[in-house]
Amino acid sequence: METHIPGYVTPPSEVPPLAGFTVGVTAARRADELATMLERRGAVVQHGVALRIVPVADDTQLAEATRAVIARPPDITVATTGIGFRGWVKAADGWGIGKELLGALGAGKLIARGPKARGAIRASGLVDAWSPPSESSAEVLDYLLDGGCDGRGVDGLHIAVQLHGEPLPDVVEALTVAGAEVIEVPVYRWMPPVDICPLDRLMDGVLARCVDVLAFTSAPAAAGLLARAGERGILEELLTVLRGPVLSLCVCPVTAAPLEAVDVPTVQPQRSRLGAMVRRLEAEMPGRARRLPVAGHWLELRGHAVLVDGTLHTVPRAGMAMLRALARRPGRVVARAELLRSLPGGSSDEHAVETAMARLRTALGEPKLVQTVVKRGYRLALDPAAGPVPLGGHCLHGQAR
């Protein structure tokens, strides 16, 4: 509900919901599709692939595991990913044993970890017996150990587990301890990207507060980003930012697990789909903007841009840094020395403040939004009729969140 302030009229804004925000995409697969959806909603997208998928169709370990499954069909097969299951069948087809593999898998029960794995199973002409709503390997394990397939647990059963890029030692060990004979099927592996520079640039942008959101579509991508930050010696600094101003957007709880394990909060959609993920962000970000009544106008601070009465204005990085410093204490004077400290690059010349301020006013198109207080500094011309605004808080449509 809009706070009514005499003299203020907020025009209907047709600005896209993600306009003014920068989203970092870490995905290896479907990155272009995700970027297109984000850009259609106004976001600026920065790519920094955190991993690459390496098929192992020629891997002797996969070939041996496939022939072992055909020779002794498993009682239960766990498909953890759609791309992995399809890759397995494709590799078997290449070796001329695809039909034999499908026959062996169809002789037992198939468990799909999620809807993509379930879709791949059905596309191959097979039928899945069960899939957890959470898409969690832990829930699959609990289901098997609790006797979900036949009511008697896994003791004495032969179980094939299709891996999803990295080992699942906890799952395999728990099944083995419970009496199952487990065969691991490594269909592909996650590896660091060939060119690590885009990921490094993305992390640098996060640390510089030039990126507002990091989007993750797989747990290995999240783990890969954290591992790379550790290699660079910036992990603690990165975690501080991810626990603060930068939002971590994850497609599902499994993807979020590496981040939440190090106390990084995440936002997730109810359904684990790219479209739902983008819609969740679309609903989230406008409410994170700082909204203030200033000098007869509505001022809304977004990541790298500002809405003035619903019109988007791109602001230089230095000007945005100063504007955020002013917005932390709206209506109060902020000294030049403090504004200087807020500027990126660590300048020691107060003339840099004047230069950045001139560019900020030009970018906003309304010079009176920021007032000069002679010999003291600058202030946002907050309208006193708006009442007190929480320091350092967010405002949504004129109200504190």
User: Helix, strand or coil for residue 236?
Assistant: helix
255-308: pLDDT as tens digits: 898 999 999 999 999 888 899 999 999 999 988 888 999 998 999 999 999 999
Q: What is the mean pLDDT of the chain?
A: 88
303-325: pLDDT as tens digits: 999 999 999 999 999 999 999 99
Give the pLDDT score at 61.
84
8-37: pLDDT as tens digits: 444 445 789 999 999 999 998 889 999 999
Q: Is the dihedral of CA 120, 125, 128, 133 positive or negative?
A: positive
Q: Give ranges for CATH 3.40.50.10090 in the chain.
A: 22-51+194-287, 54-190
CA angle (21, 220, 254) in 5-degree steps: 80
> Alpha carbon of 229 to those of 31, 237, 265: distances in Å?
21, 9, 18
Best CATH choice for the domain 289-400 from the list 1.10.10.10, 3.40.50.2000, 3.40.640.10, 1.10.540.10: 1.10.10.10
For 259, list phi and psi in degrees, rounded to 5: -75, -45
The answer to whether the CB of 239 falls within 8 A of the CB of 262 is: yes
The answer to whether the CB of 59 falls within 8 A of the CB of 351 is: no
CATH class name, domain 22-51+194-287: alpha beta
The answer to whether the CB of 282 falls within 8 A of the CB of 269 is: no
Give the Cα separation of 370 and 303 in Å (integer). Answer: 19
Place of tokens 């919901």: 17
- Domain 54-190 coded CATH 3.30.470.20: no
Strand blocks (E) in 34-180: 44-47, 52-55, 76-79, 109-112, 158-165
Give the pLDDT score at 228.
97
Q: Give ranges for CATH 1.10.10.10 in the chain.
A: 289-400
Give the Cα separation of 118 and 323 in Å (integer). Answer: 50
34-75: pLDDT as tens digits: 999 999 999 999 999 998 877 665 578 889 999 999 999 999
The answer to whether the CB of 98 falls within 8 A of the CB of 57 is: no
Give the Cα separation of 108 and 196 in Å (integer). Answer: 42
Helices (H), 146-292: 169-177, 197-207, 219-232, 235-242, 253-260, 274-284
Give the Cα separation of 302 and 22 in Å (integer). Answer: 10
